[in-house]
């Protein structure tokens, strides 16, 4: 097996739109160094339930951790806006995402597609969703969640990768996960623009499986809009 690591940087294009890129950055891009530091953790603390997600603040000077019971822990410049800790949940929390605005806010995703919005995060729709309305079959619990760069939309995916829901300005771009894969889908993250050679994909997402496989899905015409990394 061969591992290839590409240098990554943050670029600012036009009116402050930040994107991630590797080699072959477009001419005129302004590279902005992004500091990465530790702002605290729960090391040594006894937790009622395990941590299942993390989200960074827009400044990258802080982050939130979320536990499966909905408890929120804020570090650095992250502001606590509320949580589901101590409240009854039909299904455990499995993921979270933060808004891109300076005001601060975040969404929590439950395994039944339930959405809990705090701070300036808008509620745009969600579960509970336990059955596939098209195939009349149970849905394997939702496990992955990502917000759009505008903060006006989000996507979620089921653990078996067979079901993706989009809300707000999030685009439905199909499924990256392949039906024959046995490892569960554990995470996803949105892409606003990725420069790859001479092609620019304006939106899409990556999906990560428990075995480390990554799928890339973008907005070019199918079937070329999905690939295994």
In 10 A of CB 158, how many CB atoms? 23
Residue 162: its pLDDT value, please?
Answer: 72
User: 60: exposed, middle or buried (C-beta count within 10 Å: 0-12, 13-18, 19+)?
Assistant: middle
- Strand order, beta sheet including 51-56: 51-56, 62-67, 72-76
CA torsion, ordered 34, 40, 44, 45, to nearest 10 deg: -120
- The token pair at 23 is 């080699």
Query: pLDDT tens digit string along 68-104?
Result: 999 999 999 999 999 999 999 999 999 999 998 866 8
Reported pTM: 0.72
Query: pLDDT tens digit string along 218-227?
Result: 665 555 566 7
């Amino acid at each position: 097996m061969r591992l290839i690591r590409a240098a990554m940087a943050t670029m600012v294009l036009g009116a402050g739109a930040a994107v991630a890129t590797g080699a072959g950055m477009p001419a005129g891009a302004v590279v902005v160094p992004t500091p990465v530091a530790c702002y605290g953790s729960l090391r040594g603390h006894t937790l009622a339930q395990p941590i299942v997600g993390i989200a960074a603040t827009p400044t990258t000077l802080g982050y939130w951790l979320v536990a499966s019971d909905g408890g929120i822990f804020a570090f650095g410049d992250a502001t606590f806006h509320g949580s589901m800790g101590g409240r009854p949940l039909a299904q455990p929390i499995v993921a979270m995402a933060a808004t891109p605005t300076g005001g601060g806010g975040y969404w929590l995703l439950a395994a039944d597609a339930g959405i809990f919005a705090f701070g300036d995060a808008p509620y745009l729709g969600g579960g509970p969703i336990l059955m596939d309305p098209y195939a009349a079959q149970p849905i394997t619990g939702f496990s992955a969640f990502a917000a759009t760069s505008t903060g006006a939309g989000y996507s979620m995916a089921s653990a078996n990768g067979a079901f993706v829901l989009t809300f707000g300005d999030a685009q439905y771009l199909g499924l990256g996960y392949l039906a024959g894969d046995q490892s569960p889908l554990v995470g996803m993250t949105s892409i606003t623009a990725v420069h790859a050679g001479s092609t620019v994909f304006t939106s899409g997402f990556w999906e990560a499986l428990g075995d480390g496989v990554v799928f890339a899905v973008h907005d070019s015409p199918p079937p070329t809009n999905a690939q295994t990394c």
